[in-house]
């Protein structure tokens, strides 16, 4: 028995190593399945909770063009949530169960959404920095070993890179605008910079799952490598905007060919992960309210569908 299991796992790993996708009906180690359910659903939850901080500005968008773009963006995020929930369902878990995990607080979602969006410039900064950081992670995931996840990511990445450009363009308009608009943009960068840096997760030495994730191609680069990539790509963009990144230790390191940067406040990171961010409670409360208040609606839809099916059955009988 022992040998057979080992050999199945070996075969499985060989398939991944040779670049083959794993599909829903293929054999997979239980840990692979569980890890993927956790990761894909966390990702789906992040899309869905992520609708809230941006949804917060739909009614106050400063122009019709911006309002339409923001509505479309939040709608895209709901769509991403849907594909990702479907990808998670292929691993044998239901939407209801996933939803219950989110609403009860058992499942995690990206901590970045536990920060408040307090000005219009946050719609720019979130697109530019948060979507920018997300894309770095997600481009890597288009090559991940689990087929349904990888395919969902291809589509999501296309839309996310559009969102990022849109966010940057909001920042650009503000930075080409009045002093008040520039100040609004700088303030948003000041607030979103460090939380965005935290999106890549703990330092490599504090990230015990990295090795296994690399083996399964959920990860191709470590947290710290991805964070460096984010800094290197974002600093020149901030320079074009004429904004200052709030890190006094940030400087180009000729020898490394990368920017050096300051230390992340890991206490804040873990605090927010543990649920103590400004918006943690509100985000979960909003999700729970939407779900609970929607129960009678979902019940009505299924009762109606049953009645219609019954009518059709009677007709054909």
Partner 1 sequence: MLHEKLYDYLLHLGDNSMILGQRLGELCGHGPELETDIALTNISLDLFGQVRNYFQAAAQIKGGDATEDSVAMLRYEHEYKNTYLVEQPNEDFAHVIVRQFFFDVYHQLILNELMNSKNETLVAIAKKSIKEVDYHVDFSSTWVKRLGDGTEESHEKAQTAVSTLWRYSMELFKATETESWAAESRVGPDLDQLKSVYLERVSSILKEATLSLPEETVFQYGAKTGRHSENMGYILAEFQYMQRAYPNMKW
* Residues engaged in binding partner 1 (CB under 8 A): 48, 51-52, 55, 58-68, 71-72, 74-75, 78-79, 81-82, 85, 120, 170, 173-174, 176-178, 180-181, 286, 289-291, 293-301, 303-304, 307
What span, in angstroms and rounded, lies between the C-alpha atoms of 175 and 163? 18
Closer CB to partner 1, 8 or 78, in the complex:
78
Can you tell me the distance from the alpha carbon of 187 to that of 171, in angstroms, rounded to the nearest whole number?
A: 11
- The CB-of-290 to partner 1 minimum distance in angstroms stands at 5
- Residue 283: CB minimum distance to partner 1, A: 10
Between residues 61 and 264, which has the closer beta carbon with respect to partner 1? Answer: 61
CA distance 148 to 91: 10
Nearer to partner 1, 260 or 286 (CB): 286
Show the tokens assigned to 96. Answer: 């209801």
Q: How far is the CB of 154 from partner 1 (least distance, A)?
A: 20
In the bound state with partner 1, the residue whose beta carbon lies nearer, of 29 and 55, is 55
Taking the least distance from each CB to partner 1, the nearer of 34 and 298 is 298
DSSP calls for 253-317: ETTTTEEE-----HHHHHHHHTT-SSSHHHHHHHHHHHHHHTHHHHHHHHHHHHHHHHHHHHHH-
CB of 265 to partner 1, least distance (A): 29
Report the nearest approach of partner 1 to the CB of residue 45 (Å): 12
Q: Interior CA angle at 46 toward 157 and 284, to 5°?
A: 160
How close are the terminal C-alpha atoms of the chain, in Å? 53
Q: Are the C-beta atoms of residues 234 and 167 closer than 8 Å to each other? A: no
- Minimum gap (Å) between residue 207 Cβ and partner 1: 31
Q: Hey, is 260 helix, strand or coil?
A: strand
Q: Which is nearer to partner 1, 129 or 171 (CB)?
A: 171
């Amino acid at each position: 028995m022992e040998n057979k299991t080992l050999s199945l796992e070996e075969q499985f790993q060989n398939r991944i190593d040779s670049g083959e996708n794993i599909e829903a009906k293929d054999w997979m180690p239980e840990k692979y399945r569980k890890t993927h359910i956790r990761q894909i659903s966390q990702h789906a939850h992040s899309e869905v909770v992520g609708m809230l901080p941006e949804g917060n500005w739909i009614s106050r968008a400063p122009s019709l063009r911006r309002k339409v773009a923001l509505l479309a963006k939040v709608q895209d995020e709901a769509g991403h949530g849907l594909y990702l929930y479907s990808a998670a369902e292929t691993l044998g878990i239901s939407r209801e169960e996933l939803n219950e995990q989110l609403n009860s607080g058992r499942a995690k979602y990206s901590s970045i959404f536990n920060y408040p969006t307090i000005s219009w410039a946050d719609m720019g900064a979130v697109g530019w920095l948060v979507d920018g950081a997300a894309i770095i992670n997600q481009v890597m995931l288009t090559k991940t070993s689990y087929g349904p996840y990888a395919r969902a990511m291809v589509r999501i990445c296309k839309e996310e890179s559009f969102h990022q450009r849109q966010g940057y363009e909001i920042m650009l308009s503000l930075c080409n605008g009045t002093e008040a608009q520039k100040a609004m943009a700088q303030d948003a960068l000041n607030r979103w910079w460090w939380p965005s840096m935290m999106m890549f997760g703990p330092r490599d030495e504090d990230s015990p799952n990295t090795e296994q994730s690399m083996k399964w191609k959920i990860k191709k680069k470590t947290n710290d490598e991805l964070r460096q990539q984010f800094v290197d790509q974002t600093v020149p963009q901030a320079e074009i905007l004429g904004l200052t990144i709030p890190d006094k230790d940030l400087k180009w390191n000729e020898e490394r060919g990368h920017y050096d940067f300051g230390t992340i406040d890991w206490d804040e990171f873990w605090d927010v992960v543990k649920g103590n961010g400004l918006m943690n409670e509100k985000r979960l409360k909003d999700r729970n309210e939407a779900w609970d208040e929607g129960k009678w609606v979902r019940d009505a839809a299924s009762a109606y569908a049953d009645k219609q099916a019954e009518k059709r059955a009677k007709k054909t009988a």
